[in-house]
Structure 1
Amino acid sequence: MIQLRQKSSLFGALLLGVALFGTGCKDKEEAKPSGTGKTGETTSTASRGNTVTGDTIKIGEYGSLTGDNSTFGISTHRGIQLAIEETNAAGGINGKKLELISEDDNSKAEQAKTVVQKLVSNEKVIAVIGEVASSRSIMAAPVCQDAKVPMVSPSSTNPKVTAIGDYIFRVCFTDDFQAVVAAQFAWDQGYKNVAVFTDVKSDYSKAFGELFAKRFKTLGGKVAAEPTYQSGDVDFKAQLATIKGATPDAVLIPGYYTEVGTIARQAREVGVTVPLFGGDGWESDQLIPGAGTALEGCFFTNHFFSHDMTEPHITSFIAAFQKVNPGKQPGALDALGYDAAKVIIEALKRAKSLDSVALRDAIAETKDYQGVAGKITLDANRNARKEAVLFKIVGKEFKIFKSYRPEQVGL
């Protein structure tokens, strides 16, 4: 049976109240040592990273279980937890049960680094899953790289994440693909003059905006305006007035749901009537409540998953998810959390020994693994080459509108 370590005083309450959230970046806190127990002993050596020596295999998770992007962390955690529970119910790995140790980074980059240091050094986990937000993954990944403990991000899309080192992986596409898809989509829709409104505090947003503009111009498009904002802002009307004056055909907002809903409402209030579109940072059931009807008919790129899909492996996942989350529909982040955990679990089965270095090598060999958010093959840069979909917002629903494979956009 899974043993979930609760590392945040709010974590237990969050799990009890998760049904209220649905599916779906700098403070530093002093790390406090915590007991590891006797059943899951793991040792650490300079050459082999962390090694399993007891009767449980400890896997770490860090995410935004509280804070500004809490729906990201809660949704991802549900998927990870499901994968761990399924594996333990089937007997574990070589007779050893998996133990998931979850840390809350409070949606803060510095806190992400602190909690990952605890996972790697104090808890001696054999692998780490996280984060969703690229800024937090970029902050924490060097800890895993230095400790020779593999880190698998479910959904950090900034290309810099895996460039940190050979122990850093992801099971999602990257922004240099997602942004190209967004540019091709805009061109295909007949948007020739697009404004780009980016969050200067977000590595994800900045990379997405820059990569979109580069490809869109190559296609023959024009960037009408490039105003910026900062996550946490609540008044965007000055920038939106600038956008209105540039008379774009559409507006790209490569940000997170936390600001996008407010931006959309204020855009309509100042007279910006053209379509708005964005990326996977919009994925949250809190997007529509924040926007009202302001995003009706708008679009965003996302990972290849929808609860409307009917493939057997997807319907099986949905059924298993709903068994433990009654009345809920999984989203892309639930699916990606599940896939990240399953890639590690499958690699544990293939690893030559139960240490983090051998596990890293096994993860790197992942090829054609059928995840619920698309088939996963990790390339030489430890990135997943996958299809992306465009969702159209219709009422309170996200409906699949179009999809693009890498080869369709010249990648």
Structure 2
Amino acid sequence: MWGQSEKNALEMEIEKINAAGGVDGRPLQLISYDNRADSIEAVNVAKRLIDQDKVVAIIGLAQSGVANAVSSVTEEKKIPFIGTTPTNPLVTVNEDGTVKKYAFRTCFIDPFQGTVAAQFAYDRLEARTAAILYDVGSDYSSWLSNYFEEAFTKMGGELVAKEAFRTGELDYRAMLGKIKEKEPDVLFVPTAQKEAALAAKQARDLGIEATLMGGDNWGSPDLITLGGSAIEGGYFVNLASLEDPDIQGFVKEYRERYNADPVLPNPVMAIDGLYMLIDAIKRAGTTEGPALAEALETTKDLPVLTGILTIDPDTHNPLNKPAVIQQVKDGEFIYVETYVTK
């Protein structure tokens, strides 16, 4: 779903670029394979792209675990990759904090979106107490819950409950029962759509009235399909929204071409990555990996689809990347605002 939409967007954009003369007079060629969201398959695909297809860079890699696995290949082969939505900090830096020379991304990272969620809850929703239900078996869920807790308490909020379940569990009523006793203003559930929808239904069945909140993993139609009325009114952090004023031209063009909405945020993050790569090629004057990586690292004030892009040379993450707040309203994802942390 996300991958196909990402591929569609890149094909559409590259077609326009080539029609206008390409990059430095040369056409761009998109070669794509399905990595099936599997780390082993993704490593094999990356090797095929580099060794057989002779690509100059890789754009994509939505999942953090998959992106992290591929980064070992691109570091060895000295070919840049630009992740679209892998939000784990360790995608672009090593455990010791040193930056990976060939790994970049166009999305924000988990500490940032955890902070956004906490600040939005405290400032906009005027929440003063919060509870967290998270998946202890998921790095994404565990890290995001920690970042939310840190930011919320730093602002003066109180975390009244923090309950964990293990991946694969489907009954959260025991944990939610403990949360209900604390009567939190907000309940933060940084999980995938299935778990979030189940948690929402069980929470409402137990009489929990807290405003539900989540991270960017909520941004799938499956959340609404599975959660129904229980998820209504919930807020979540995302990278982009169909109603975002900055991307309306892209949304209109995509709908006209494919007779469907783009499945965000992956396609717009991919287009940002494409223009980041084109800018680097022009400034480097070559498509050689080491020179391209140096140019990517010095990306500064570059106009892209979602705004202005500057890369932090110490982390290879975008600086001051705004987040989008969305809400489930009347069975749809509604754009609330573009939010920048304090």
Alpha-carbon distance, 1:353 to partner: 1.4
Query: Matches of 1:367 and 1:109 in 2, distance apart?
Result: 31
1:122-156 deviation digits (Å, cap 9, x = unpaired): 33321111222222222221211222111111111
Is 1:398 matched up with 2:333? yes
- Residue 229 of structure 1, aligned match among 154, 161, 165: 165
Alignment TM-score, normalising by the size of structure 1: 0.75
* Partner SS state of residue 336, structure 2: strand
Is 1:306 matched up with 2:241? yes
1:279-304 deviation digits (Å, cap 9, x = unpaired): 1111122221121111111101122x
Query: Matches of 1:78 and 1:230 in 2, distance apart?
Result: 36
CA change 1:290–1:177 in 2 (3 A) is: same
Query: Matches of 2:224 and 2:93 in 1, distance apart?
Result: 34
CA change 1:202–1:344 in 2 (3 A) is: farther
Query: Matches of 1:378 and 1:326 in 2, distance apart?
Result: 34
1:96-141 deviation digits (Å, cap 9, x = unpaired): 3322222222222333333223323333321111222222222221
Is 1:154 matched up with 2:84? yes
Alpha-carbon distance, 1:231 to partner: 4.4
Amino acid corresponding to residue 371 of structure 1 in structure 2: V
Q: Which residue of 2 aligns with 1:199?
A: 135
Q: Which residue of 2 aligns with 1:46?
A: none
Q: Which residue of 2 aligns with 1:243?
A: 179
Alpha-carbon distance, 1:351 to partner: 2.3
Question: Which segment is superposed worse, 140-149 or 93-102?
Answer: 93-102
Is 1:84 matched up with 2:17? no
Q: Which residue of 2 aligns with 1:6?
A: none
Q: Which residue of 2 aligns with 1:173?
A: 108
* Partner SS state of residue 176, structure 1: helix
The runs of 5 or more residues in structure 1 that have no matched partner are: 1-70
CA change 1:215–1:328 in 2 (3 A) is: closer
Alpha-carbon distance, 1:187 to partner: 1.4
* Partner SS state of residue 28, structure 2: strand
Question: Which segment is superposed worse, 149-158 or 324-333?
Answer: 324-333
1:16-42 deviation digits (Å, cap 9, x = unpaired): xxxxxxxxxxxxxxxxxxxxxxxxxxx
Alignment TM-score, normalising by the size of structure 2: 0.89
Q: Which residue of 1 aligns with 2:287?
A: 354
CA change 1:278–1:344 in 2 (3 A) is: same
CA change 1:392–1:140 in 2 (3 A) is: same
1:157-189 deviation digits (Å, cap 9, x = unpaired): 221111140211111112222111111112122
Q: Which residue of 1 aligns with 2:322?
A: 387
Indicate if the aligned counterparts of 2:228 and 2:331 stay in contact, CA closer than 8 A.
Answer: no
1:6-61 deviation digits (Å, cap 9, x = unpaired): xxxxxxxxxxxxxxxxxxxxxxxxxxxxxxxxxxxxxxxxxxxxxxxxxxxxxxxx
Q: Which residue of 1 aligns with 2:145?
A: 209
Q: Which residue of 2 aligns with 1:296?
A: 232
* Partner SS state of residue 325, structure 2: strand
Is 1:260 matched up with 2:216? no
Indicate if the aligned counterparts of 1:201 and 1:231 stay in contact, CA closer than 8 A.
Answer: yes
Alignment of 1:113-124 (within 5 A): 113-124=43-54
CA change 1:147–1:163 in 2 (3 A) is: same
Amino acid corresponding to residue 292 of structure 2 in structure 1: L
Query: Matches of 1:135 and 1:398 in 2, distance apart?
Result: 27
Alpha-carbon distance, 1:329 to partner: 4.9
Aligned residues: 334
Q: Which residue of 2 aligns with 1:220?
A: 156
The percent identity for this pair of structures is: 34
CA change 1:168–1:194 in 2 (3 A) is: same
The runs of 5 or more residues in structure 2 that have no matched partner are: 95-99
User: CA RMSD of the aligned region, Å?
Assistant: 2.2
CA change 1:230–1:333 in 2 (3 A) is: farther
Alignment of 1:124-139 (within 5 A): 124-139=54-69
Query: Matches of 2:166 and 2:54 in 1, distance apart?
Result: 36
Indicate if the aligned counterparts of 1:76 and 1:333 stay in contact, CA closer than 8 A.
Answer: yes
